[in-house]
Amino acid sequence: MSEKLKFAVIGGGSWATAIAKMLCVNQPEIAWYMRNDAAIEHIQKYKHNPNYLSSVEFDTQKLKLTNNINEAIEYADYVIFAIPSAFLDAELKNLTVSLADKIIFSAIKGIVPETSLIVGEHFHIQYDIPYYNIGVITGPCHAEEVALERLSYLTIACGDPEKASVVAKSLSGNYIKAKISDDIIGTEYAAMLKNIYAIAAGIAHGLGYGDNFQSVMMSNGIREMKKFIRKVHKMKRNINDSAYLGDLLVTGYSVFSRNRMFGNMIGKGYTVKSAMMEMSMVAEGYYATKSAYKLNQGYGAKTPIIDAVYSILYEGKDAKSVFKKLTESLD
């Protein structure tokens, strides 16, 4: 079934590149939208993305590269968005074609700042896309390890299991195993929240806390995530599944984690602005922290780690003092 369907990837970063790589294994052609004209020309000439995962070599005969988002979306039945959440709203404002007949999957791990919604909710509320036409692609899976063809696992969540299976089959390969889930809201919130806990882990490391403390914080983090998600969307789920706990662990500990890297710099004394400039990449957890904190003002879940990260990033409080206090609330 998936061979007859057309896919488009929206985004030019590492996750978009990894997803394009996975799709090219199983699809005869995919549309790939990115804004960077120079990157498109480079891929066409040299067969790899010059800016992200440059070791990945593409069969350019399989790529319909374009800098026009409308052209890519018009081409496809399934549209996979893989751009930073902070830029999603601006990109969507360029649309002149309808999304009404498209099946939308998000590989974005964050909150849309303009609406304070996770991506699936944003498409549902702002564009009237029914939930059975919206899905989520989540980990635990780093794009860098996909590039290295290391065994990785994906969870594909959608209200329609048949559509989830189509995407799972299209992304699967020798080193990619994909399973499906019906917890579209929970998996997407987990993908957003784990970035906040990764920032916390990075701050702890930057402050000089060791593995012992960080393991306790991750243990508290998964319980905090469970409480938060239960408030948002109560259903039967196992928070220890890889889509929740596994994704949290890989993001909290991996050397590839940009959110942990961002937190580490904050712990070492960088300002938010200087850390962002130094990284030259988007740390989704920065935006997620504010949204999660504000949302929880209504939900009332006990979230000391989110509160601590928020106070450091948005209230300018001293990281060392905040974490000293945080250590008293963890167990």
Q: Annotation-wise, does 87 bind a ligand?
A: yes
Q: Is 143 annotated as a binding residue?
A: yes
Check whether 178 is labelled as a binding-site residue: no
Kindly name the residue from 21, 102, 163, 194 that is annotated as catalytic: 194
Q: Other CB atoms closer than 10 Å to residue 129's CB: what's the count? A: 18
* Catalytic-residue membership of 21: no
Annotated binding residue 109: yes
Distance CA 162, CA 172 (A): 15
Distance between the two ends of the chain, CA-based, in angstroms?
49
d(CA 240, CA 228): 15
Give the β-pairing of 111-112 and 103-106: unpaired
Neighbours of 244 (CB within 10 A): 27
What are the Cα distances from residue 121, in Å, to 112, 117, 216, 284, 329? Answer: 10, 6, 32, 17, 32
Q: Which distant-in-sequence residues (6+ apart) come within 8 Å of 191 by Cβ? A: 109, 136, 138, 139, 247
Binding residues for NAD(+): 87, 143, 258
Binding residues for substrate, as ranges, are: 109, 258-259
Residues annotated within the binding site are 87, 109, 143, 258-259
Task: Return the active site residues.
Answer: 194
